[in-house]
Amino acid sequence: MTRQTKILILTADAGFGHRAAANAVAAALADRYGDACDTLIANPMNDPRTPAALRLTQSEHDVMSQQLPQVYELGYRVSDRAVSISALEAALIAMLYGAMRDVVEQFGPDVVVSTHPAYQAAIAAVFAMNRHYVPLLLVVTDLAAVHGLWFNDDVDMCLVPTQVAAARASQLGIPVERVEVTGLPVNPMFAQPVIKSELRAELGWANDRYLVLFAGSKRARKLEPLADVLNHSGLPIQLALVTGGDEVLLESWRNVEWHLPARVYGFVDNMPSMIRAADLIMCKAGGLITSESMAAGLPMLLAEVLPGQEAGNAEYVVRGGAGELVADGIEALKVICHWLERDGSLLTERAANARRLGRPGAAARVAELAWEAAHEEMKPRKHKFLDQVSTLRDILKQRT
């Protein structure tokens, strides 16, 4: 029996984007290579040995960015400096080494794919301490404002979503031959042909009105007043309002007297189908939702932007002509009115721009590169931590 190729995908649950990218790559591997591939998605941050302070960053990331945005932005900027990054890497090695070593030794991967910036130094340290390397592929999930912690020279391939991110990688010392613009991996469904009218019929949506999709969640706080303004607009639109895990918003929208055709949803598992069936989307500027929307050619009204990487996402969308940033319901109403006039000519233009920026085949490309890396002989090159094994031992002793 032929041995399966083992592919380890490292992710975290700080927001939706890292996990979604990991799932997308795993799905693409399954689609293309089937049983020949054994894929494991692991989150070392959830390991009991990982300090609680680091584990909690996954759940408290949103609390800090929403309730104390200026503090969060300051921390983001201060940590995005060369000296700070080196200190962060040392701390992350100390905190993650045990969990990282065990998942590598127990699974025995032929290649490692990382979708989170915290892992590169720790996995490189494991390789150096064991004197055993397998290819390490990095999948960057921020579109434009990319933190320097992502870019560690020990990665064998740096796979980025945009040319802006590629320029940032080169600026921080990743050789250009190890950087490829793949796009951000999204559900492989986005690469499939779509007949929008058929999708709408399946979803119970009408075809005689424009469909405005609201992508709500506990992380999106500013959608409710926008929906209220559109509800009283008299525009030829219908609304599909997804609240995700936000039970308060779900109850609120269920109690609204809707003057337009409207359907309210809680948590859904068919968001890709909804995105492909809609005409425009109201959302926050998260990397996942903006990438999925661009992959579907769906114009965006960005109602909320968290400091840090989301600011870069918003700028990328707006500069590319794929959407607009709106401050309130009245501004959103003005934009939609402009987009819909002259039989929606401007909306059509925004959709074409989104489609041009989108890369629906990103997950398939990452899967292909991971598979190739697992089967190619590694080219010898210098790994920085090989000369620092004694320093690594000191770091790990301090942890124990």
For residue range 317-372, list pLDDT tens digits in order: 999 999 999 999 999 999 999 999 999 999 999 999 999 999 999 999 999 999 99
Diameter of the chain by CA atoms? 70
Look at the domain 189-357 and name its fold: Rossmann fold (3.40.50)
Query: In whole angstroms, what is the distance from residue 210 CA to residue 230 CA?
Result: 12
Radius of gyration of the chain from its Cα atoms, rounded to whole angstroms: 22
Strand 237-242, strand 262-265: pairing = parallel
CA angle at residue 293 from 290 to 297, to 5 degrees? 135
The predicted structure's pLDDT at residue 183 = 93
- pLDDT confidence of residue 121: 87
Fold of 5-186+360-399: Rossmann fold (3.40.50)
What span, in angstroms and rounded, lies between the C-alpha atoms of 192 and 289?
18
CB atoms within 10 A of CB 193: 4
List the domain boundaries for the chain: 5-186+360-399, 189-357
Q: Smallest Cα–Cα separation from 141: which of 350, 304, 289, 356?
A: 289
The predicted model gives 51-58 an average pLDDT of 72
Question: Can you tell me whether residue 111 is helix, strand or coil?
Answer: strand
Q: Which pLDDT belongs to residue 1?
A: 58
Q: How confident is the model at residue 76 (pLDDT cuts 50, 70, 90)?
A: very low
pLDDT at 158: 96
pLDDT 10s digits, 227-282: 999 999 999 999 999 998 889 999 999 999 999 999 999 999 999 999 999 999 99
What is the percent of the chain where pLDDT is above 90? 63
Q: Quick one: pLDDT band at residue 222, thresholds 50, 70, 90?
A: confident
Please determine whether the domains at 5-186+360-399 and 189-357 fall in the same fold group of CATH.
Answer: yes
pLDDT for residue 294? 95
Q: What percent of the chain has pLDDT over 70?
A: 86
Contact predicate 143/287, CB 8 Å: yes
Question: What local confidence, expressed as pLDDT, does residue 65 receive?
Answer: 47
The per-residue pLDDT of the chain, averaged, comes to 86
Binning the chain into helix, strand and coil, the percentages to the nearest 5 are: 55, 15, 30
